[in-house]
Amino acid sequence: MSRGGIGNIMKQAQQMQRRMAELQEELGKKQVEASAGGGMVTAVVSGKQQLLGLKIDPAVVDPEDVEMLQDLVTAAVNEAIKQSQQMASEEMSKITGGMNIPGLT
């Protein structure tokens, strides 16, 4: 491979790295929201898969059935994280051109 070819590949890699860093910053500003139990529990997660908020309808708080509340919280948080991961993956594929690069999403 010629010297110019290697330089071009390095330049493209640096551009992709810069765009990925910008995307990571943008994802930190984005949010997804998911609910469980017909909206009784709602979780808000960032594009970086960080739990930002959790809303619990007081009607679902029953001291006699704590297990149901735990299940609803778990379901809402897991769904929000799943949606956040999907959003990040879709955004990353715009940069990588659909190439599956391990460790990027």
pTM score, whole prediction = 0.74
DSSP classification of residue 64: G
Beta bridge partners of 33: 44
Beta bridge partners of 42: 35, 55
Are 54 and 43 in contact, with CB atoms under 8 Å apart?
A: yes
User: What's the CATH code, domain 3-96?
Assistant: 3.30.1310.10
Straight-line distance from the first to the last Cα atom of the chain, in angstroms, rounded to the nearest whole number: 31
pLDDT tens digits along 12-65: 888 888 888 888 888 889 999 999 999 999 999 999 899 999 999 999 999 999
What is the sign, positive or negative, of the torsion defined by CA atoms of 19, 24, 30, 33? positive
